[in-house]
Chain A
Amino acid sequence: MPEADDFGAERQKLNDRQESRESCSVGIVEPKRVVFSDSLPLASGVSLRGFELAYETYGTLDADKSNAVLICHALNASHHVAGYYANAPDRIGWWDNMIGPGKSLDTERFFVVSVNNLGSCFGSSGPVSINPDTGKPWGADFPLVTVEDWVDAQARLADHLGIERWAAVMGGSLGGMQALCWSIRYPGRLRHALVIASTAKLSAENIAFNEVARQAILTDPDFFDGHYARKDTKPKRGLRIARMLGHITYLSDEQMEKRFGRQLREGLQFSFAPEFQIESYLRYQGEKFAGYFDANTYLRITKALDYFDPASAFDGDLTRALAAACCRFLVISFTTDWRFSPARSREIVRALIDNGHQVSYAEIAAPHGHDAFLLDDPEYHAVVRVYYDRMFAHEIASGETHE
């Protein structure tokens, strides 16, 4: 079983603001599992005969079940969003700076649910889980899944938890796509969508980067058409390169320059060994990632990213795609994010306004590029905080949930 993603902690270091684990943390958390025996029809036409989801919850669901917030994860994260594990105190949740007692999303007020998506490799049904038909890991046979499939599976989890309507669905990047998808697919089941550093569809450039990452994995001699587990190996080279490439797109040019510039480790060696600090950094990130992440999962999640395009069913008209939504929206982008730039968020905002939907939009001046959504930029966190504060005061504490 691969290790849960720990990049939340890693990004915190990048921000030079290591938050102490004890202060305002949800503390020790435990992952939970739920098995669904009903089949789940997928966008690809394939159906999953039952499936399992790993998830975590923090805080307390109130009596009328009006304070539940669903957190959706991005490419390589998991359901471990906040707190830490008793047997691994260093494994801090990837959004621990955002979620906890007294934090922007206050777990003393809200019941927070985070779920590992289908096809991922951290406990939910996916390539590394057991195929009930064969009794062996799915590997390459696990079907391709889409953002819509994830949201359908998350809706089953909501049913299981007795949550008819989320107070909010929130996510960054690919997680933001899920929040957007919820607003379209289950409009009556959420009151707010928080769509952060996200987009309504990938650009050609975004898909191009994903394709290079996939090719790195697919052409790794250890890939064996995705059945590498049978050979007791992993396409680590491919995963490393995929991660290195991905990592470049998460950072801003400005931030990379500031952190690494042209710094050398030990002067020029006239060799292909890592000489520049940035090379060494990327190799380290790639190596670490290849150690815990699953290649089949990476392939599937990048495909889910590529496929997401709710406007495609409406001749590319995002306004019509969002017509069915009826929740309120908070859209946030970061000025130096070039992976999903502010222009992508403004497209979402425009489509929402054209529908007369309730939306606020913050464009945070942050130097960290796409990564900023994981970091604790004070203005960013303050915006999220006031949004939840208002939600709590007007919809939850008062006992009134607007219809």
Chain B
Amino acid sequence: MSDTVKKASNVTSVVPEVRKDFSLIAQWIKEGARVLDLGCGDGGLLAYLQQSKNVCGYGVEISIDNVKSCIARGVNVLQRDLEGGLADFSDAHFDCVILSQTLQAMHHLEALVEGMLRVGREAIVTFPNFGHWSHRWQIALQGKMPVSSSLPYQWYNTPNIHLCTVKDFDRFLAERRCEVLERVVMAHGKEIMLLPNVFGQLALYRFRYR
């Protein structure tokens, strides 16, 4: 494993400032954990987790360009379409399965969340909070679909098909016998304590089956 640390350490020089959500997720991950990152993008989060937590991580990614980026930075990556489900992964194999800002773009998200809790003991899901006041403002008073830094798309070109609020996701988990272990709602890199469903832009959940 020593080479994992060595490889990951190179990432810090490339990304001097760690994204706030990455460092928060890292706090929730145990040292040396087996981690699966669904929709891992260019492998930034996994590279950070390899460096900071010495995880044994795998990313899942559909885009060949992202696959190449992951390989280039020494992150294990498996090219496949998440919509196909997680049947290729064994039960309870991972300590933690992460779905970072991907949930809102999934067609079969119920099955995916179920799959995450089958292959992992715990799940971490992050998503843009549709309940943010600026989104409410744009719909209620401006009468238009919200566009913001967390939802930068127009209604006609957005990949986001399952947008939800913090309140929606709380209920979604409660209905599925899930126990929320941690919930943090952030805006501009800071945790929002007051009215998180109004002032929060990004929601992060750690949960498992009750």
Contact = CB atoms under 8 A, between A and B. Distances in A.
Interface stretch (A70-78, A94-102, A151-159, A347-355): A347-355
B90 A390 contact: no
A383 B68 contact: yes
Given A350-B89, A386-B71, A364 B64 contact: yes
Contacts of B130: none
A350 B89 CA distance: 7
A389 interface: yes
A191 to B, nearest CB: 10
Interface in B143-174: none
B103 interface: no
Contact of A379 (B10, B64, B71, B74): B64
A362 B74 contact: no
Contacts of B6: 394, 400, 402
A364 B68 CA distance: 12
Range of interface residues on B (Cβ < 8 Å): 20 to 34
Chain B contact residues: over half helix, strand or loop, or mixed?
mixed
B64 A383 contact: yes
B29 to A, nearest CB: 16
Contact of A360 (B2, B71, B90): B71
A363 interface: yes
Interface string B187-206: 00000000000000000000
Contacts of B88: 346, 349-350
Interface string B117-135: 0000000000000000000
Given A350-B89, A394-B74, A362 B58 contact: no
Contacts of A389: 72
A400 B9 CA distance: 15
B90 A356 contact: no
Contact of A402 (B3, B64, B67, B73): B3
B7 interface: yes
B71 A383 contact: yes
Interface stretch (B17-25, B77-85, B104-112, B176-184): B77-85
A353 B89 CA distance: 8
A386 B7 CA distance: 15
By CB atoms of chain B within 10 A, which of A358, A365, A382 has the most? A358
Interface string A317-353: 0000000000000100000000000000010011001
Interface in A11-26: none
A382 B72 CA distance: 11
By CB atoms of chain B within 10 A, which of A350, A353, A389 has the most? A353
Given A361-B78, A402-B3, A354 B71 contact: no
B77 A361 contact: yes
B7 A394 contact: yes
B70 interface: yes
Contacts of A390: 71-74
Contacts of B3: 394, 402
A379 to B, nearest CB: 5
Contact of B93 (A354, A359, A379, A403): A354
B165 to A, nearest CB: 35
A363 B79 contact: yes
A350 B79 contact: no
Nearest to B62: A363
Interface in B1-59: 2-3, 6-7, 10, 34, 56, 58
Contacts of B67: 360, 362, 383
A330 B79 CA distance: 11
A85 interface: no
B79 A359 contact: no
Contact of B79 (A353, A362, A386, A402): A362
B90 A350 contact: yes
Contact of B56 (A350, A356, A361, A386): A356
A363 B89 contact: no
B101 interface: no
A356 B72 contact: no
Nearest to B74: A390
Nearest to A332: B79
Contacts of B76: 358-360
Contacts of A349: 78, 88
A228 interface: no
Contacts of A382: 64, 68
Nearest to A347: B88
Given A349-B88, A362-B79, A400-B6, 5 more contacts: A349-B78, A360-B67, A360-B78, A363-B79, A402-B3
13 contacts: A350-B90, A353-B58, A353-B78, A360-B71, A360-B78, A362-B67, A362-B79, A365-B64, A383-B67, A383-B68, A390-B72, A402-B2, A403-B2
Interface of B: 2-3, 6-7, 10, 34, 56, 58, 64, 67-68, 70-74, 76-80, 88-90, 93
